[in-house]
Amino acid sequence: MAQQHFLSQFSDKPRYNTKAVAQETGVPADTFRAWERRYGVPRPQRTEGGHRLYSERDIATIRWLRDRTAEGLTISQAIALMTDGNESSLSWLSTAVDTEPHTWERLNSRLITALTDFDATRAEQILGEAFALYPMEEVFLKMVQPTMIEIGEQWHAGRITVTAEHFATQFIRRKLSGLFNTYNITDGRGLVLVACAPSEQHDLGVLMLSVFLVRHGWQVIYLGPEVPLRDLIETVRQLQPDLVAVAASTTETATQLLEAGRAIQALPPPTPHFGYGGRAFNINPMLIQRMPGTFLGHDAQEAVDHVADLLSGKR
C-alpha cells in the first residue's frame, strides 16, 4: 500500500471497492458514503455497473477525516480545515502529492523545524499528512516521540531556547489531551491509574500511554506529572484500580518508583498490579532489576500489550 511508503505515491486510479476501504480505514461504509453525498469527499469513480471504486488518495482523505473527528472536530469543520474552506480543492493533498517522498526521517525533520520556528499552522499540516498516511499509534511512536526527544536534546545542548522547547511540548500535549478526552470512557475492560513519579515533570510519555490505553478499551484515570507518593497511595485505596502505571525519565525519578512500587504492593487486597516504564529504564536497563512490579516495555504500544497480558492473567 502506498500509505506505508510515500505520500507522493498516492494515486487517483480507482481500484478499491467499498468493503476494502472500510477495512483499510476502520470507517464504516455508511459514514464515508454520507460524507461523499453531503460534502463531495471522498471522490470515488463508478464502474459500468454503478459500483464505487476508490483510489489511494480517497483512502488517505478518509483516514485524515477520521482522525480529525476523533480529535473532536465535527465533520464539517474537518472538511473546512482540509480544503481551506473551499470544498472544490483538496489543497493539502494535491500539494503533498507533488512533493518529495514522506519518509519518517523527513516528516520528523519537517515537524522539528515547524515546532522550533513556533509555526503551529505548519506543524498541524505536517501531522495531518502523517495521520493520512499512517495509523495514529505509528505517528506518535515513529514521528512525535522521536521529534520531542530531539527537541529536548537540542535544548540541553543550547541550540534552541527553552521557549521553543516549551512551545513544542505544549503543542503535542494539546494534541494528546484532545485525543484522550475524545476516546476516554467511564466503563472499560479494567481501571488503570496512570501517573508520573513524585518529582517527574515530563508527562508526554504517560499521556501518550493513556491515549493508547483508552483507544484499546481500558478505563484510565490520568493523574499527570509530579504525583506525591502519599496522594498516589490514597487514590489507589479510594479507586481500587486493576493496575497502577507510573513513569520516570531520569535515574533520580526512577529511584522514587522503588518506594512507590513497594508501598502499592503492600496494600491489602484487592492489591493492584504495579507497572512502570519511561526513558530512564530504556537508557539504563539495570534499573529494572531493582524494581518491584512489571516493566511495561520500551514504548506506549509495548505497554498496552503488557497491560493486556497482566490484566488477563497471562503474567
Instruction: Kindly tell me if the per-residue pLDDT of 283 is higher than 80.
Output: yes
Q: What is the pLDDT of residue 124?
A: 86
Q: What percent of the chain has pLDDT over 70?
A: 90
* Average pLDDT of the residues in 261-288: 95
Q: How does residue 28 score in pLDDT terms, banded at 50, 70 and 90?
A: confident
Question: What was the pLDDT predicted at 232?
Answer: 97
pLDDT at 3: 30
Top CATH class of 104-179 equals mainly alpha
pLDDT tens, position by position, 70-106: 777 778 878 877 765 444 444 444 444 434 456 888 8
Grid coordinates representing 8 are 507522493
pLDDT above 60 (res 52): yes
Q: Give the right CATH number for 1-94 from 3.40.50.1000, 1.10.1660.10, 3.40.50.300, 3.40.50.150.
A: 1.10.1660.10
164 to 152, 171, 200, 205: CA distances (angstroms): 10, 11, 20, 19
pLDDT at 23: 82
Residue in 194, 203, 207 with CA at minimum distance from that of residue 274: 194
pLDDT of residue 314: 55
Q: What is the pLDDT of residue 30?
A: 83
What is the DSSP pairing of strand 243-247 with strand 191-196? parallel
Residue pair 68/60 in contact (Cβ under 8 Å)? The answer is no
| Domain definitions of the chain by residue range | 1-94, 104-179, 187-312
Element (H, E) at 85: none
**141 DSSP 8-state letter:** I
Q: What's the Cα-to-Cα distance from 85 to each of 77, 239, 294, rounded to whole Å?
A: 9, 46, 50
Residue with cell 487486597: 269
Work out the pLDDT band at 263, boundaries 50, 70, 90.
very high
Instruction: Calculate the average pLDDT of the chain.
Output: 86
Report pLDDT digits (tens) over 2-15.
333 333 446 778 88
Of 175 and 314, more confident: 175
**Lowest mean per-residue pLDDT among 41-55, 125-139, 160-174:** 125-139
Question: Which segment, 39-48, 55-64, 253-262, is predicted with the most confidence on average?
Answer: 253-262
Report the DSSP beta bridge partners of residue 19.
none
C-alpha to C-alpha distance for 81 and 90, rounded to whole angstroms = 10
- Residues 15 and 28: their CA atoms lie apart, in Å, by 18
More confident residue, 15 or 276: 276
Of 25-34, 47-56, 126-135, 140-149, which range is least confident?
A: 126-135
Report pLDDT for 83.
65
Residue 113 has pLDDT above 60, yes or no: yes
Q: Is the pLDDT of residue 133 over 50?
A: yes
Contact between 43 and 51 (Cβ < 8 Å): no
Residues near 5 by Cβ (< 8 Å), separated by ≥ 6? 101
Please measure the distance between the N-terminal and C-terminal CA atoms of the chain and give it in whole angstroms: 36
Q: Among 3.30.420.10, 1.10.3720.10, 3.40.50.280, 2.60.120.10, name the CATH number for the domain at 187-312.
A: 3.40.50.280
Chain-centroid distance, C-alpha 27: 18
Three-point CA angle 76, 182, 124, nearest 5°: 60
144-187 tens-digit pLDDT: 999 999 999 999 999 999 999 999 999 999 999 988 887 777 77
Task: Check pLDDT > 80 for residue 214.
Answer: yes
